[in-house]
């Protein structure tokens, strides 16, 4: 029986060429797997047919938009996941759901190997292959660009020679990855980190320089998950999509960062994540209102470690699973409404309201009605500073003895 290889298929030049390239290099049959995580563009049926026209023996397509938003983006939101305090894991959070469908397709069609289009320099090769090893340990992995010498110039020449049904061009200098959680752009002139991004880099966001009139939005959360926008019920996918549109129109969510890659090099990346950044801003503020102080402090540490694990391709790891349990526990009271003003590239919190808030007006006010017993403060300060006071006395005595 001929070996079969499952290929993560986007419908673009590189993965379309990879179908025939892999078949010729290995003698195996290629099964194309396309997973829709909200990247937009062509329909799944168009992509499926192109895969078959390019030589795939089977084409497996999956509309995973709701699954991605609910099971992958929402955990990232609850963790307030921002790698290097800036990047909302646009690509990293999408790889596990793609891996899940790749392994399912391999098992369905009897494939022995999974293939992806990643280079040997990037993070995604790790994310794909660690995920495959975890969910399908019996499967092997190959990468045409890394393992079979499929460079872009060779891909263009191959597509033209084979008359493949795809548009080939050498003009677009960028490498782009996008989904409903955001958009990532790299390479080309952006590799010179002194170069500023040009207008053609952006697609999800309008320029914040000349914004339209400010847009006020109220986001309702239940246990850390957005459930309504301006009083209208939404699914997680709908919440992200609506805020992508509204925050994107105001230029919210543009990120330009020199990022520490997992493989040890630094890489300049441009991201657009209007919906993700607006939701994270709102969610973080609602946590400020509803989560107890010490729990909130520790959650920041947990959230950072969660973010690093996901960035490093450890979505399916035992530690990630344990951190999920802690984060989920912290979200039981993160319910209420946050009002945001979207304007000029910013998502600014202007109002907070929650039935489970720990904010007590009568304790916080300085006006008549204050219920805080200020006489307690003197004794509290004495006890709170006692250990430092004792240590300071010791140090002074030691200094005098010298």
Say which CATH number the domain at 281 has: 3.90.1260.10
Determine the straight-line distance between the first and last CA of the chain, rounded to whole angstroms. Answer: 86
**Tokens 């993560």 sit at which residue?**
8
SS3 228: strand
pLDDT computed for residue 152 by the predictor:
77
Q: Are 185 and 75 in contact (CB under 8 A)?
A: no
pLDDT computed for residue 111 by the predictor:
96
The 10s digit of each residue's pLDDT in 332-390 is 999 999 999 999 999 999 999 999 999 888 877 787 777 878 888 889 999 999 999 99
Is 12 annotated as a binding-site member?
yes
Is 13 annotated as a binding-site member?
yes
95 is catalytic: yes
Do 180 and 43 fall into the same domain?
no
- Listed residues 154, 172, 190: the one ending a domain: 172
Do 304 and 225 fall into the same domain?
yes
Tell me the average pLDDT across 18-22.
93
Is 124 annotated as a binding-site member?
yes
Q: Are 204 and 183 in contact (CB under 8 A)?
A: yes
Is 385 annotated as a binding-site member?
no
Q: Where are the alpha helices (DSSP H) in 110-148?
A: 124-135, 144-147
Do 73 and 50 fall into the same domain?
yes
Do 99 and 231 fall into the same domain?
no
CA dihedral 185, 188, 193, 197 (to 10 degrees): -60
Do 140 and 98 fall into the same domain?
yes
Out of 48, 124, 246, 254, the active site residue is 124
Tell me the average pLDDT across 82-103.
97
pLDDT computed for residue 327 by the predictor:
98
Query: Total structural domains in the chain?
Result: 3
pLDDT computed for residue 156 by the predictor:
85
Closest C-alpha to 49, from 39, 28, 29, 34: 34
Q: Which residue segment(s) compose the domain that 129 sits in?
A: 4-172
pLDDT over 90 at 14, yes or no: no
Do 341 and 213 fall into the same domain?
yes
Do 138 and 180 fall into the same domain?
no
Is 330 annotated as a binding-site member?
no
Is 9 annotated as a binding-site member?
yes
Do 95 and 139 fall into the same domain?
yes
pLDDT computed for residue 395 by the predictor:
93
pLDDT computed for residue 245 by the predictor:
98
pLDDT computed for residue 171 by the predictor:
62
Do 201 and 150 fall into the same domain?
no
Beta bridge partners of 169: none
Say which CATH number the domain at 381 has: 1.20.5.470
The 10s digit of each residue's pLDDT in 162-192 is 888 876 666 666 888 899 999 999 888 899 9
Which is more confidently placed, 174 or 313? 313
Average the pLDDT over each of 195-204, 268-277, 282-291, 354-363 and give the range with the smallest value. 354-363
Which DSSP string corresponds to 240-295? HHHHHHHHHHTTTTEEEEEEE-TTS-EEEEEEE-HHHHHHHHHHHHHHHHHS-HHH
- Listed residues 145, 172, 199: the one ending a domain: 172
- Listed residues 137, 172, 207: the one ending a domain: 172
pLDDT computed for residue 168 by the predictor:
61
pLDDT over 70 at 209, yes or no: yes
Q: What is the reported pTM?
A: 0.93
Do 59 and 138 fall into the same domain?
yes
pLDDT band at 92 (very low <50, low <70, confident <90, very high): very high
pLDDT computed for residue 271 by the predictor:
97
pLDDT band at 67 (very low <50, low <70, confident <90, very high): very high
124 is catalytic: yes
Which is more confidently placed, 156 or 254? 254
pLDDT band at 2 (very low <50, low <70, confident <90, very high): confident
pLDDT computed for residue 402 by the predictor:
73
Q: Of how many residues is the chain composed?
A: 402
Closest C-alpha to 184, from 171, 197, 195, 169: 197
Do 155 and 113 fall into the same domain?
yes
Instruction: Give the per-residue SS3 of 156-205.
Output: HHHHHHHCCCCCCCCCCCCEEEEECCEEEEECHHHHCCCCCCCHHHCCCC
Out of 95, 254, 268, 346, the active site residue is 95
Say which CATH number the domain at 13 has: 3.40.50.620
Do 31 and 51 fall into the same domain?
yes
14 is catalytic: yes
pLDDT computed for residue 170 by the predictor:
62
pLDDT computed for residue 199 by the predictor:
93
Which is more confidently placed, 13 or 322? 322
pLDDT over 90 at 30, yes or no: yes
Q: Are 250 and 303 in contact (CB under 8 A)?
A: no
Is 14 annotated as a binding-site member?
yes
pLDDT over 90 at 233, yes or no: yes
Out of 53, 66, 147, 175, the active site residue is 175
């Amino acid at each position: 029986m001929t070996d079969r290889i499952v290929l993560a298929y986007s419908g673009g030049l590189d993965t379309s060429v990879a179908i025939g390239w892999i078949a010729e290099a290995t003698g195996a049959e290629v099964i194309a797997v396309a997973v829709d995580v909200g990247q937009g563009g062509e329909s799944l049926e168009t992509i499926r047919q192109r895969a078959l026209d390019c030589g795939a023996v089977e084409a497996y397509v999956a509309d995973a938009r709701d699954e991605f938003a609910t099971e992958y983006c929402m955990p990232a939101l609850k963790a307030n996941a921002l790698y290097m305090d800036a990047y909302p894991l646009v690509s990293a959070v999408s790889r596990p759901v793609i891996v899940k469908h790749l392994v399912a397709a391999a098992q369905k069609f009897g494939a022995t190997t999974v293939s992806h289009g990643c280079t040997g320099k990037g993070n995604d090769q790790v994310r794909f292959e660690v995920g495959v090893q975890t969910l399908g340990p019996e499967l092997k992995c190959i990468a045409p660009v890394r393992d079979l010498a499929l460079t872009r110039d060779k891909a263009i020449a191959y597509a033209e020679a084979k008359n493949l049904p795809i548009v080939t061009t050498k003009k677009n200098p960028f490498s782009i990855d996008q989904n409903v959680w955001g958009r990532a752009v790299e390479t080309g002139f952006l590799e010179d980190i002194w170069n500023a991004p040009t207008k053609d880099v952006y697609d999800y966001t309008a320029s914040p320089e000349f914004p339209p009139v400010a847009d006020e939005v109220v986001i309702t959360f239940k246990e850390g998950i957005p459930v309504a926008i301006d009083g209208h019920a939404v699914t997680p996918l709908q919440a992200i999509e609506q805020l992508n549109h509204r925050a994107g129109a105001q230029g919210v969510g543009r990120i330009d960062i020199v990022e520490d890659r997992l493989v040890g090099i630094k890489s300049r990346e441009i991201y657009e994540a209007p919906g993700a950044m607006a939701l994270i801003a709102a969610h973080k503020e609602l946590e400020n209102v509803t989560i107890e102080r010490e729990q909130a402090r520790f959650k920041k540490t947990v959230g950072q470690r969660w973010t690093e694990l996901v960035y490093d391709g450890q979505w399916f790891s035992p530690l990630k699973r344990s951190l999920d349990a802690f984060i989920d526990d912290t979200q039981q009271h993160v319910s209420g409404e946050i009002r945001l003003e979207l304007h000029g590239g910013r998502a600014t919190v202007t109002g907070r309201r929650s039935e489970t808030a720990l904010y007590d007006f009568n304790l916080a006010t300085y006006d008549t009605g204050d219920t805080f017993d200020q006489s307690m403060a003197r004794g509290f300060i004495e006890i709170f500073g006692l250990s430092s006071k004792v240590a300071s006395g010791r140090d002074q005595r030691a200094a005098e003895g010298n």
